[in-house]
Chain A
Amino acid sequence: MENLDEVLKKHKLTMDEYKNILSILGREPNMLEMGIFSSMWSEHCSYKSSKKYLRGFPTSAPWVIQGPGENAGVIDVGDGMAAVFKMESHNHPSFIEPYQGAATGVGGILRDVFTMGARPVANMNSLRFGNITNNDKISKHQRYLVRGVVAGIGDYGNCMGVPTVGGETFFDESYNGNILVNAFTLGLAKTDEIFYGRAEGIGNPVIYVGSKTGRDGLGGAVMASDSFTEENKSLRPTVQVGDPFAEKLLLEACLELFKKDYIVGIQDMGAAGLTSSSFEMAGRSGSGMKMYLDKVPAREPNMQPFEFMLSESQERMLICAKKGYEDKVLDIFRKWDLDAEVIGEVTDTGNMELFWHGERVANMPVQPVGEQAPVYDRPVKEPEYLAKIKNTSLYDFQKIDNQEAFEKLFCSVEVVDKSWIFEQYDSMVQTNTVKAPGSLDASVIRIKENGKALAMSSDCNPRYNYIDPFKGAAAAVVESGRNVAMSGARPLAITDCLNYGNPENPEVMWQFAQGCYGIKEACAKLNTPVVSGNVSLYNETNKIGVFPTPAIVMVGLNDDANKTLPSSFQKEGSSVYLIGDTKSDFGGSLYMKELFGKVEGSLSEIDYEKELKLWNLVIEANKDGLLSCAKDVNVGGIAIALAKMVAVSGKGIDANVELNDKRDIFSESFSRAIVEVVDGNAFEAKARDIGINVTKIGTVGSNMLKINDISMAVDSVKKIYFTRFKEVVEQDI
C-alpha cells in the first residue's frame, strides 16, 4: 500500500495491527476495509486496553438474566418482569459540543435499552465538570458546558417521555480540560420477551430502520479513542446531531414490533454505526452477511460506501427479520413515518460482503474482526504522586473552628441542592417516580405491573479514586449499594462507566487496573454482579488526565413500593440514630479539599461484612416499620449529612455526637448511616441481633440545626442549600 505510514496514522492503527489485518484477509485491505478495521479496533469499540481487566468481573447471580456482552444487562425483578439497564459515556463529544454531545449520549443509551425489548422507564446521569465557581475564563467556559449539557440531556429525555429520576454531579479542576458525561437508562421488559443483537438463519433479511444516514459523526469512535490537544479542538463534525422526535417514533415502532414474532434479533447503531452493528450481530451467532449499501436510506446525495459504514447518524437500528415477514416489519415502521429498507441478508459464508451498485467493495471474515481485535497488556506503574500524598493527615493543617468549617463546606457546589439542573428534566412522566431527584440518596420508581419498587443510585468519589484507585473504586460500589439500601431496597447488580485518562501512560493504566480490581472485590463481597458497562479512556487534555472516575450505578429491588423509605426527617421529636463508627478519616475528604485545597491522604480499609450488616439493619428495620427515614453518611461527614436532611425536610436537628476529635464531625468513615427511628428499643434490639453499633445522637427539632458546636437557623440552612447553585451557575447571565 502506498503511503502506508500515513494511512495507518490516519486510521490510528499500528504496524502490528496492520500485519494482523494482512493475515486475516490474506491480502491488502482496500480503503473501505481499512476504515472498518480502524473503527472496530478502536479503543472505543474493541476495549483493547481494558479487556484484560474487565474479564475478572463477577457477572452472575441467580437473578442475573443477561450479563455483559449484549446491548445492556438484564436482571429478574419478579413476577415475570425484568429490569434492563446500562450506563455509557459521551465524554469527548460533550466537551466539543455540550448540547448535542450530551443529547446524543442520552439517545444512545436509550436505544441500547429498548433494543432489548424493554420500555425505558428511568434515566439518570453522572456528570463531572471542572471548576465552575471562579470568575475566570476556565470557570466561565465550564459554566457554559454545564448549561449546554443539562439542556441537551433534558431536551432529549423529556421529548422521549422517559423521566430523569436522579444522578450526580461533581466539580473539580481535574475535569477542566475533559468533562465527563455518563448517561444511564433502565427499562422494563417481560422476561420472556427479551431481544438480543443476533443475526442468524441463512437467507433471513437484514433490515435498516430509523432515520436516514448522513455524514454526521463520521469517525466518532476513533475520535473518542484519542486525547485532546490544541490541534484537534475543532472536531465538531465528528459529533452527531440528535433528533429525539425520530427516536421517540423509533421507540414506539420497535415496541410495537416486539409484540409480534417477526424478528430474530435487533441492535442499535451506536459507535461506528452500521459497521459495529452488522459485525456484532453476525459475530454473535457465527453468521455471514451481505449488505447492499446503495439501498441504505441516505440523507444527502453522492454519499460513498465508507460514509454509510462509518456514519454515526443517530436514531437507527439494524434488524434481522424472519424470512417472509419483511413487509410486516416495514409496515410497522412506515406507520410511524420512519425509513425502513431491506438492505441485506444473512449468509453461511462467515464473511461480511458489502456491495455498491452490484460491485463487491469489501469482503472480510466476520469472526476474526471481532475476536482477533488486539488485546493489549499495557505497561503499568504505580503513580509517583501516591507516595507523596499518602501520609497527609489533618495534623498537617491549622485547626479551624467547626462553625467556620461548616459554613464553608455547606456552601460547596458539590453539597448544595441541584434543582437548577434536575428541574430541567421531566422527572415524573410515566407516573412511577416515588423518590424524585433532590430527595437525597437513591432514586426510586415503582413497577406498576407488580407493585414493587426499583431503587437506583449513581456514585463515585473521584477524590478517593485519585488517592487510592483500588479502594476508591470499591468505595463507589459500596456507596451506591448503601444509597439503594437506604430506600429499603436490596441492592442486586451494578452497571459501570469507567472513565480514566490515557492508557498509554503506565501510571494511568495502573489506576485503571486497580480500579477494576477494586470493583471486582466489592462486587464479589457484596454479591452485586456487574451486568453491563462501558469504558472511556483518553480523558486527558495536553497530557493532564482526569481523576480516575469509575462511575457505578447500583440497582436494587424493594418488594413493596409503599415501603419506600425517605431520606429526610419526617416528624419533630423523633429519635435520630447513627449506625456505624466514626474515626478520623479525612483522606480525599471534602474538608481537606474545601478548606486547604488538598486532595491527599489515604483511605481506611473497607469492612464489607459491616457494610452488609448496615444494609440489612436498614432493610429489615424498615420492613418492620421501625424507621421513618434513612440517609447514608459520606462527603462532609455527619455534619453535612444532617444539614442536608434538615434542608430537604425543613425540620431542625438537635444532635450531640461523641467524638475523639471534634473535627471528626466532618470525617468520612465508611459504612455509616443516619436513621430517624419510630421505635428506639426495637431498633436497638435489631441492631444487637445483627451485630452493628448504633448510637442515639439526637432528636428532630423545629427551627434550629444544632450539631455539637455547630448551629444555624433552619431558614438559613434552606436558603444556602436551595439558592447557592443557581447563583454560581447563572453568574454570567
Chain B
Amino acid sequence: MKVAVAVFPGTNCEMDTKYAFEKLGQEAVLVFHKEEKLPQGTDLVVLPGGFSYGDYLRSAAIAKFSPIMKAVIEFANNGGYVLGICNGFQMLLEAHLLPGAMKRNQNVHFVSKYQHLKVIDNNNQFLRKLSNNDIINIPIAHGEGNYFIDKNGLKELYINNQVLLKYCDENGNTDNPNGSIDEIACICNKNKNVFGLMPHPERAMETLLGSEDGVKMLQGFIK
C-alpha cells in the first residue's frame, strides 16, 4: 500500500505517521503542501497532526487553501481513502469533507494524555479489525478537540453509522476530555472513505511507549 502523508507548514506529526506505516511494512511518502498532485498510485492520504499555519485564525483554517488540498479533495470525492488525525481532522472539517466543526476544549487547556475510546461502529475500512464496544487506549494531544454538530447533523451521523469512536474511561463509562458533543472522538463521511479523529493512533504502535492499540486501526487500511 502507498500512503501519502501531507506536510503543511507547522505540521509536526508527519514523521510519526510515516514511521507508523513503515512499521506495518507499508510505503509512506511525504508530500509538501506546495505540490499540486498526489503521488502516482496513492492508496491512502493521511493529513497528520500539528499546527498547520500555526493554527492562526482558527485551527486548520488556512491549510484548506494549500495547493495539495485541491488534490486531496478530488481524491476523496473519487472514493479514495483519506484519514485526518488531530489537526488533519480539523482540516477535513474546514474543507467540508466531514460535517461539523471544532471548538476550543471546554476547560480551555491543551490536553495531552492517554485516553480510552469505545468502538461504536466497526463496519468501515478504518476500524474493521476491531469489534464494536472494544475499549482501546491511545494518546490525545489537542487544544481544540471539542467536536460540535447541530441536532439534525448529529441525527444523520447516527443514522448513517458515521460515529465511529467515543471517549470513555477504562470501563467504558462516560469520560469526556474536551467537551465534544456525545463524547464523539471519530467520525467518517457518508461514503465511509474519509475518516477524522482527534486521538493519535500513530502514537500507539508499540508497548514500549505504552500502547499498541493503534496497530489494528491503521492495519484496517491495508488490503
Contact = CB atoms under 8 A, between A and B. Distances in A.
Interface of A: 151, 154-155, 158-161, 243-246, 248-249, 336-337, 419, 422-434, 436, 446, 448, 561-562, 564
B47 to A, nearest CB: 15
Interface string B103-141: 000000111110000000000000000000000000101
B112 A431 contact: no
B219 interface: no
A434 B15 contact: no
Nearest to B205: A431
Interface of B: 9-10, 12-13, 15-16, 19-20, 49-51, 53-56, 109-113, 139, 141, 143, 200, 202-203, 205-206, 208-210
A434 B208 CA distance: 6
A245 B202 contact: no
B141 A419 contact: no
Given A244-B54, A426-B141, A336 B111 contact: no
Nearest to A439: B210
Given A154-B110, A161-B50, A248 B10 contact: yes
Contact of B51 (A248, A436, A446): A248
Given A245-B56, A424-B110, A432 B51 contact: no
Contacts, number: 87
Given A158-B51, A158-B141, A434-B209, A424 B9 contact: no
B13 A337 contact: no
B141 A159 contact: no
Nearest to B20: A431
* Complex A-B, nearest 3 residue pairs according to Cβ-Cβ distance, in ascending order: A161-B12, A245-B54, A426-B141
Given A161-B50, A248-B51, A430 B110 contact: no
Contacts of A432: 209
A606 to B, nearest CB: 35
B110 A431 contact: no
B30 to A, nearest CB: 11
Given A423-B112, A428-B139, A434-B208, 13 more contacts: A158-B112, A158-B143, A159-B55, A161-B13, A243-B54, A249-B9, A337-B9, A423-B110, A426-B110, A429-B49, A431-B202, A431-B203, A448-B19
A674 to B, nearest CB: 23
A249 B9 CA distance: 7
A719 to B, nearest CB: 16
B87 to A, nearest CB: 11
B10 A419 contact: no
Contacts of A158: 51, 110, 112, 141, 143
B10 A245 contact: yes
B111 A248 contact: no
A337 B52 CA distance: 13
Given A243-B54, A245-B53, A245-B56, A428 B19 contact: no
B141 A428 contact: yes
Contacts of A434: 208-209
Contacts of A436: 210
Contacts of B12: 159-161, 248, 429
